[in-house]
Amino acid sequence: MTVKFLPSGDSAIVVEFGSQIDRGVSERVLRLSMRIRTSGLTGVIETVPTFRSLMVHYDPLQTSSATLVDAIGTLLDAAGRLEQRQRLWRVPVCYEGDYAPDLATVAERTNLTTAEVVELHSRTQYHVYMIGFLPGFPYMGDLPERLALPRQVDPRLRVPAGSVAIAMAMTAIYPIESPGGWHLIGTTPIVMFDLASTRPALFAPGDAVKFDPIGEDDYAAIRAAVADGRYEVPHERMVA
């Protein structure tokens, strides 16, 4: 795989690994991000993983693009694997009634029953490729092929926070109310983004996510517990 270094203004460079959305590419992006963060390169401010590239923000008063390209090239060639500690999250989702406004339409368009849509969506373990679009918005793949649909022709002006959505090969959770054109098949009562937290975005690139179907009564109970600070999203550590 040919790696490209692309300038991005006068204080960032992009390390591009390919042109496809692929877990192997994602793993290389995330591994380089970790190497840079743990190597102590002078002037590096932040690394931002995407599907197929890594943006590296730097302080131009402390380093230069050319210096960073040389240093990152050395990290790319470094032998051995770094242990990456990520989380597997278990996210409660209500796929019923008003919490799933597009579920029946998705079932019709995919020639499945609503129960089959829920079963396919919830039995899959998803990979968090990147965070973007909105603060804390996770792009998660890979959606089962039978559920793959293009975005809606007419996006909604208001998608409620917590909406669990699908489009193309991805699934996502809207962290705050916003416009959106994905198909809404469920809702989670958890909080995806909290500025008051030491970790504002709940998920991070490289994490894994599974969805656990719940009923409306459980949704209400968990939502109340979240509001009172009595609920922690179930998760466990993974080592990649």
pTM of the model: 0.93
> Taking the domain 4-76, which CATH number applies?
3.30.1360.40
How big is the CA angle at 50 (ends 48 and 52), to the nearest 5 degrees?
A: 130
Mean per-residue pLDDT of the chain: 94
- From residue 117, alpha-carbon distances to 120, 122, 161, 186 in Å are 5, 8, 21, 11
SS3 203: coil
Distance of CA 28 to the CA centre of its chain: 16
Q: Provide the pLDDT for residue 224.
A: 98
Mean pLDDT score, 24-49: 94
Tokens of 192: 């995806």
The fold of 85-239 is: Cyclophilin (2.40.100)
Question: For the segment 3-34, what is each residue's pLDDT rounded down to a tens digit?
Answer: 999 999 999 999 999 888 889 999 999 999 99
Question: For the segment 90-101, what is each residue's pLDDT rounded down to a tens digit?
Answer: 999 999 999 999
- Quote the strand ranges of the chain, DSSP E: 4-7, 12-16, 44-49, 53-58, 85-94, 126-131, 138-141, 156-159, 163-167, 170-173, 178-180, 183-187, 208-214, 235-239
Q: Where are the domains of the chain?
A: 4-76, 85-239
Q: How far apart are CA 147 and CA 139, in angstroms?
A: 16
8 A C-beta contact, residue 214 and residue 94: yes
